[in-house]
């Protein structure tokens, strides 16, 4: 594995229950840098949201990235959350992610973290959900899961990292429906995932970071880092371009990091590539820089 940054920290990994729905436990996998002899810390913290078309995968999906970030001095909480078909679709998962941000702030001291330096990140559908939480921390639907003893803790974040996000779910749905009509069997699986999670195109339009900005809806605008492979076909470049333009137009600060020669999910599929190492290093620097701003 390439060294991604000044990776001086050893890492402790532990799993904790962060949320319960009925009798079901939901787990956060915590990647914690172990402070060196100089006593460095407390560390910035990130809630990490896995992808999988909203209905697949789990907290282990981005384990390599999460551990490398911890080696660079960032506490990462990779979380499980409700997913169809066992659970309700949108916005239930977003409510769990919103809760996870508040939970991590409330428990920051237990992990050696700074509750004032918390961000959110995600890959693919997880990047979409991370964007919604970052931009709509005050949405009552997303804040519907109460935090015991933490009513004063909000879900505002200092930064967001979006890795190849499904930034326009409705646009992506129309794209894969066209591909299915042209004979793509892979597109049929993506359509099914959209249908299970969203139920309606109206929901895909409402829970849509890009179209929300295009409609002029009010949003919180934390600094964002947008990471994507330059030859990613699953996450259309026009969707990326629209979001980047609208975020800047609305007053947000966004940095785009395109990785040449890489397609979707490149960090997991090409963990030893220089492009992966460079991307993770850029994420680490971004988190340290942006969470330290006052």
CB 121 within 8 A of CB 44: no
3-class DSSP assignment, residue 161: strand
For residue 151, the model assigns a pLDDT of 74
Q: Is the pTM of this model over 0.85?
A: yes
The pLDDT of residue 41: 80
Cα–Cα distance, 49 to 61 (Å, whole number): 9
Beta-bridge partners for 20: 25
pLDDT at 37: 61
Hey, is 172 helix, strand or coil? Answer: helix
Alpha-carbon gap, residue 184 to 187, rounded angstroms: 5
Query: Residue with structure tokens 């060294």?
Result: 3
Please give the order of strands across the beta sheet that includes 24-33: 11-21, 24-33, 75-79, 43-49, 113-123, 160-163, 224-229, 254-259
Q: What does each of the 294 residues of the chain score in pLDDT, given as a tens digit?
A: 333 445 689 999 999 999 999 999 999 999 999 987 666 789 999 999 999 999 999 999 999 999 999 999 999 999 999 999 999 999 999 999 999 999 999 999 999 999 999 999 999 999 999 999 999 999 999 999 999 877 789 999 999 999 999 999 999 999 999 999 999 999 999 999 999 999 999 999 999 999 999 999 999 999 999 999 999 999 999 999 999 999 999 999 999 999 999 999 999 999 999 999 999 999 999 999 999 987
- Please measure the distance between the N-terminal and C-terminal CA atoms of the chain and give it in whole angstroms: 34
CA-based nearest residue to 11, from 75, 107, 100: 75
Q: Nearest 5°: phi and psi at 155?
A: -105, 15
280 vs 290: CA distance, rounded Å: 15
Domain 11-168+220-292 in this protein, CATH class: alpha beta
Instruction: List, in order, residues 6 or more apart from 226 with CB less than 8 Å away.
Output: 162, 165, 240, 243, 244, 254, 255, 256, 257
Q: How many angstroms separate the CA atoms of 284 and 5, rounded?
A: 8
What lies within 8 Å, CB to CB, of 206 at 6+ separation is 212
Nearest to 225 by CA among 267, 162, 288, 281: 162
| Phi, then psi, of 118 in degrees rounded to 5 | -110, 135
* Pick from 254, 162, 141: nearest CA to 206: 141
pLDDT for the residue numbered 6? 55
pLDDT at position 7 is 60
pLDDT given at position 35:
83
What is the rounded CA–CA span in Å between residue 15 and residue 61?
15
Q: What is the pLDDT of residue 270?
A: 95
């Amino acid at each position: 594995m390439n060294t991604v940054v000044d990776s001086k920290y050893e890492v402790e990994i532990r799993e904790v229950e962060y949320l319960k729905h009925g009798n079901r436990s939901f787990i956060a996998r915590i990647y914690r840098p172990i402070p060196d002899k100089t006593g460095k810390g407390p560390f910035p913290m990130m809630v990490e949201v896995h992808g999988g078309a909203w209905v697949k995968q789990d907290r282990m999906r981005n384990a390599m990235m999460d551990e490398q970030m911890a080696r660079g001095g960032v506490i990462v909480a990779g979380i499980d959350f409700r997913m169809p078909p066992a659970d309700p679709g949108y916005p239930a998962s977003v409510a769990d992610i919103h809760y996870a941000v508040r939970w991590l702030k409330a428990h920051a001291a237990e992990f050696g973290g700074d509750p004032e330096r918390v961000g959110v990140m995600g890959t693919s559908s997880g990047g979409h959900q991370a964007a919604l939480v970052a931009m709509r921390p005050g949405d009552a639907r997303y804040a519907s899961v109460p935090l015991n003893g933490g009513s004063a803790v909000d879900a505002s974040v200092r930064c967001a990292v979006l890795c190849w996000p499904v930034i326009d779910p409705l646009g992506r749905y129309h794209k894969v429906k066209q591909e299915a009509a042209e004979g793509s069997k892979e597109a049929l699986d993506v359509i099914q995932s959209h249908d299970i999670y969203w139920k309606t195109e109206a929901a895909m339009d409402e829970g849509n970071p890009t179209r929300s900005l295009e409609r002029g809806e009010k949003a919180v605008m934390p600094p964002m880092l947008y990471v994507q492979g330059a030859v990613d076909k699953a996450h259309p470049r026009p969707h990326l371009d629209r979001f980047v333009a609208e975020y800047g137009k609305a007053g947000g600060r966004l940095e785009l990091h395109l990785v040449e020669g890489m397609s979707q999910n490149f960090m997991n599929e090409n963990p030893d590539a220089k492009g992966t190492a460079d991307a993770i290093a850029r994420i680490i620097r971004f988190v340290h820089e942006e969470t330290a701003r006052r």
